[in-house]
Chains A and B, each alone.
Chain A
Amino acid sequence: MAEYPELLEFPRFWQSRPLRQPGRSCLTENSWICGKYLRVYRQELTGSLVQHLWITATAVAIGLVVALPLALLARRVRSLAGPVLAVTTVLYTIPSLAMFSLLLPFWGISAALVVTGLVLYSLTILVRNTLAGLRAVPAEAVESAKALGYGPGRLLCTVELPLALPAVMAGLRLATVSTVALTTVGAIIGYGGLGNLLLDGINRDFKAQVLAATVLCVLLALAADAALAVVQWLLTPWVRRGRVAVRVRRRRGPRNPASGSGKRQAAPS
């Protein structure tokens, strides 16, 4: 089991007497920026990055799979919408360290614990956004589809979900960025991806490692966001061209002059 070190008591060799050897390098000098670190610790860096990636990806994927039916249920059964949103909001309020700890009796020290905690967090954003997206589908579009003889399943898959897609994707992007950041806290049990490097960096007072892990973490979040933006762009060709887009956008358009950016999404009406 990953043992948690008592950090304050940890001796701080590097601060008290910096090593100045003949063959000194940025590693022995404990510099913030150190190319040698990236070379020497390449394996650790890659390993942590890979762990970070798969924990985040698994959590968000499971979150999406759970959130869609929940949102559909909350929309179908109106009396359930309040409780579903309330429960996910309460879950969202619990600090991550406490969340992981509360799951400890169920999972023990395992990656599943971190993934479960992250799933619970992503649910809040995903359910909320999916529900908002579904509710903002223009009534005319639904009516027209019904008049054309669409059954409920076909209506959902070919009309409602595609129209809700921008909102869902916006939620997915936000959930992903948040999850990338939150994964670091999993370091408390040794499953924190780049967070493990951060914690190790504290213990060893290792500046290059702390900076490298932080930068990688931010880059990972930005890359994931950009990748999902591309996916959204590919999935919603009608937003790019045609008059439908204009109509849909106007319907959901900003009422608030403060923010009229493209990222803005459907307001639940």
Chain B
Amino acid sequence: MTAVSGAWHWLTTAAHWTGPDGVTHRLAEHLYFSGVALGLAVLLALPVAVALGHAGRGGTLAFALAAAGRAVPTFAVLTLLLVQLGSGSDWPVIIALVLFAVPPMLANTWVGMREVDRDVVEAARGMGMTGGQLLLRIELPLAMPLIWTGVRSAAVQVVATATLAAMAGFGGLGRIITAGFSRQVTAEVLAGAVLVAALALLVEGACAGVQRLVDPGGRPRARSAGDGPRDRARTTPGDRSSAPGPEEVPQR
């Protein structure tokens, strides 16, 4: 397995970790893209989804967006944005990532808000709670696990999708892979792939850990929208035709 030993050798060469093309810098770029995009997506998607869920409207919109996100290739969106905006700024990458992070958050949060037990809502209303109190004291806390599932799946997806930025000439860890292809160095391609895959699995694992902390004794919860190849918009709990939805499969 010369390929594996080559990749190992590449990874253990100190020179490959420093400088503007080094792993450290590429990782920083990767996390920068992902972090900014995720933050923007949270700011954009959560308030809208909470409001829509509270009002019980817009479900069709949320699911239609989720379905559309699956059918439109991320790479195509990135390409469209790049050709329109030029490669001078990082905006094409960030906007593309935001566009793909919003649908799962929107759908999960919406479902989370709607899945709050109607009896509990009725009881709260009966106790004389106002709409605002209902939202803050009943609906949001009860919807929290699913909201977090949405954020988590978006986070994992964004980190994975950020890899594609390199195909459009931007930075990030994917750049190691594309540079390897352009130089025709299999070891470099493999090393980059290992790093990207490791980061994706790490983020997935970390998110699962945080979710367990946030919702320790919670009811068994599906990974729902959380399990997909990270560079496509994927299954949302509302779309049961795909992977099992929220309450349907115990976690792992």
Residue numbers of A with Cβ under 8 A of B are: 1-8, 10, 12, 15, 82, 86, 89-90, 92-99, 101-102, 104-105, 121, 124-125, 128-129, 132, 170-171, 173-174, 177-178, 180-182, 184-185, 187-189, 195, 198-199, 201-202, 205-207, 210-211, 213-214, 217-218, 221-222, 225, 254-259, 263-265, 267-268
Contacts and interface: CB of A to CB of B under 8 A. Distances in A.
Interface of B: 1, 3-4, 59, 63, 70-77, 79-80, 82-84, 86-87, 110-111, 114-115, 118, 156, 160-161, 163-164, 166-170, 174, 177-182, 184, 186, 189-190, 192-194, 196-197, 200-201, 204, 223, 227-232, 234-235, 238-245, 247-249, 252
Nearest to A106: B3
B76 A129 contact: no
Given A101-B193, A104-B190, A198-B75, A268 B244 contact: yes
B98 to A, nearest CB: 18
B150 to A, nearest CB: 14
B241 A182 contact: no
A92 B73 CA distance: 16
A79 B226 CA distance: 24
A171 B242 contact: yes
A195 B73 contact: yes
4 nearest A-B pairs in the assembled complex, by CB-CB distance: A7-B169, A101-B193, A105-B3, A170-B241
A185 B230 CA distance: 13
A184 B192 contact: no
Contacts of A184: 73, 75-76
A225 to B, nearest CB: 8
Given A181-B73, A202-B82, A256-B245, A105 B115 contact: no
A30 to B, nearest CB: 9
Given A101-B192, A181-B73, A205-B83, 18 more contacts: A6-B179, A8-B169, A15-B86, A82-B252, A98-B196, A105-B4, A173-B241, A184-B76, A185-B75, A195-B73, A199-B167, A210-B80, A217-B72, A218-B72, A221-B72, A256-B115, A267-B240, A267-B244
